[in-house]
Amino acid sequence: MVVYKHLLSALLLATNAAAGRGGIQKRQNDAPTTTWNGATYSCKCYNSDDCWPEQSAWDELNTAVDGNLVANAPAGAPCYQNHGANVEATYNQQECQEAVQGYGVAEWVDDQPATLMWPFYSNTTCEPAQNAQGTCTLGFLPEYVVMAKTAEHVQAGVQFAAEHNLRLVIRNTGHDFMGRSTGYGSLAINTHALNSIEFTSSYDGPGDWTGGAVTLGSGVQHSQLYPAANQLDPPVVVVGGECPTVGIAGGFIQGGGHGPLAGYHGLGSDQALEFKVVTADGDLTTANAEENPDLFWALKGGGPSTFGVLTSVTIKTHPEMTCTGMSVNITGYDETFWTGVADFHNMANHFTEAGMYVWFALMNGNLNIQPVVGPNMTEQEFTQVVQPFLDKLDQDGVQYQHEIREFSNFYDLWYNMFSKTNNVGDQQSLVGGRLFVAEDIEQHGDEIVDAIREVIGAGSGGFGGFGGGGAAASAAVMGGHVVNPGHAIPQEDYSATHPAWRRAATANLYIVSAEPGMSWEERKEIEDMVTNTLGQKLRDASPNSASYINEGDVNEPNWQETYWGDNYPRLLEIKQTWDPNGVFYAKSTPGTEDWEVIEYGTRLCKKQ
């Protein structure tokens, strides 16, 4: 019965529409229409429209969410004497100082209702600064935020947005590189407080997994889950990411999710056993191998904010194990530096064949490879694998320092070698990325490194303190990962992620600095450079490769193919089944072809 529930609700909605009452029909009539660049659009409701909810309706929503609805104010609001019509005046020097200090701290940013780690996408119209000048406005940040404490609060938020035809945004930690946790004039649902963690030693739900599992509220972050898994008796490990403050069961798992153990146990999304998700009709739905298997598959990497709001996820746990890590630094401003970069990048397939994982940060003159992770490897086993790489560097006369450390468990490796990396807010930049597959490294390895070199240029971008956000809009830093989840789980449709993940070698992102307060034309210029100049160099050098939906370019051309490959048609069908009216929207995700943010980054509308 439950399996066919969505068919049934589609039928009911169709019946309602035919009878001319309630549901979709009414919402479509309410949608304001407009023309823009010669096309006709039907739009979501915004606060200047007649269809925007009355104050009494917002009050009702606030009651339904037990008083957890907040009128949003940007982080910098207490710093401004002048506040725009949609931001309550809150000038307060003490609070301003806290905001100025907190803005660069990931944990502080996460705790705010809607502040972004990558502020470009807020339109930076109210940045925290002592003695700030000008007027604080919301820019592209949400108008209201449901600070959800329960799944019922999430349901109330989704129902309200659907009923009133509002733009709905889901915001967990605000880490999104691509601006997908914000939206002009929207109602946001903040899932940060859904942080329950419950372990079981033997999973007995649907599917063939009988090992350990853990059920996570969708707000749980790595800094909570990794220690909890380690403190269990016996300790376990999970496939998460590197960064302590990324959320596991929000954007990470719905985008695919790679991390230190992905070469050994598969992608983050491959770990999912069951989702609880609030779907577009406001129902709290279960998706697993037996109940709604289509939705289950799609939620495993089919796109963030696309099929529903996750409220919890059950994922596999695995036994703890000895892990070894290595740090390597290559420095220098001559050609040998780039020889070293090529020696490293061309070695990716060798590392992934051993199930290893690597994070590296590259700018001109400095390659910081830290760490190389060897899951379930002693120092001796690890050294055998990495020795050919070190030998090659020696042979080529490359200057480097390196250090190898064995840890008795994964948690200690993560804590010592990852947990302090890149965990910062106020990243005034935008990103693009490319996922290189094994075949391209084999056939075009040197061309790829040449393309990377061109993308990095003079290298004065910013990421976690690497060079720290210079003004030059033409320079980038690259962060990357050596990872192949296909080493652990080779089946191409195991999850909805791009099949190229099963042949992955490195997943890289490049970071380009942006200035706060750029005009629309300047924004378009820098986006164009990210997509068409820098991105094109990487595409040209890797004809068989793809991109990673969480670490890519939001304006990627042919995004359907580049982010999902052959899995796209099935995802589109599932999106049309579960969210036919577009309650959920994030740019460049399945089913958003007709949707567009028009009028200089503001109204979300559907082409007629």
Ligand X SMILES: Cc1cc2nc3c(=O)[nH]c(=O)nc-3n(C[C@H](O)[C@H](O)[C@H](O)COP(=O)(O)OP(=O)(O)OC[C@H]3O[C@@H](n4cnc5c(N)ncnc54)[C@H](O)[C@@H]3O)c2cc1C
Binding region for ligand NAG (CB under 6 A): 123, 125, 137, 139, 184, 318-319, 321, 327, 329, 368, 376, 401-403, 517, 519, 602
Instruction: Identify the helix (H) or strand (E) that includes residue 326.
Output: strand 323-331
> Which partner, ligand NAG, ligand X, none, binds residue 96 by CB below 5 to 8 Å per kind?
none
Determine which helix (DSSP H) or strand (DSSP E) holds 369, and give its type and residue range: strand 366-375
Q: Give the H/E segment covering residue 229.
A: helix 222-231
Is there a contact between 286 and 368 (Cβ–Cβ < 8 Å)? no
Which partner in ligand X, ligand NAG, none is near 553 (CB below 5 to 8 A by kind)? none
- Smallest gap from Cβ 327 to ligand NAG, in A, equals 4
Q: Which of residues 271 and 339 has its CB atom nearest to ligand X in the complex?
A: 271
Q: Cβ of residue 340: shortest distance to ligand X, in angstroms? A: 24
**Nearest distance from residue 274's CB to ligand NAG, in Å?**
23
Q: Which residue's Cβ has the minimum distance to ligand X?
A: 251
Q: Quick one: 386 or 541, whose CB is closer to ligand NAG?
A: 386
From the CB of 109, what's the least distance to ligand X, in Å?
10
Q: How far is the CB of 352 from ligand X (least distance, A)?
A: 16
Nearer to ligand NAG, 407 or 436 (CB): 407
Binding partner of 241, given ligand X, ligand NAG, none, CB within 5-8 angstroms per partner class: ligand X
Structure tokens given for 430 = 């935008």
Beta carbons of 251 and 272 less than 8 angstroms apart: no
Closer of 136 and 309 to ligand NAG (Cβ): 136
DSSP state of 195: -
The DSSP symbol for 492 reads T
Q: Is residue 323 within 8 Å of 405, Cβ to Cβ?
A: no
CB of 302 to ligand X, least distance (A): 11
**CA–CA distance, 167 with 472 (Å, rounded to integer):** 34
Binding site for ligand X (CB under 6 A): 117, 170-177, 180-181, 191, 218, 241-243, 246-247, 250-252, 254-255, 257-259, 304-305, 309-310, 422, 550-551, 586
Closest to ligand NAG by CB, 284 or 518: 518
Q: How far is the CB of 166 from ligand X (least distance, A)?
A: 15
Nearer to ligand NAG, 139 or 268 (CB): 139
Concatenated DSSP letters of 94-118: HHHHHHHHHTTBHHHHHHSSS--SS
> Which of 187, 86, 186 shows the shortest CA–CA distance to 136?
86
Helix H or strand E segment including 255: helix 253-255
| Residue 543 interaction partner, one of ligand X, ligand NAG, none, beta carbon < 5-8 Å per kind | none
The closest alpha carbon to 85, from 123, 120, 38, 47, belongs to 47
* Residue 28 CB partners (closer than 8 Å, separation 6+): 42, 581
Q: Which is nearer to ligand NAG, 214 or 298 (CB)?
A: 214
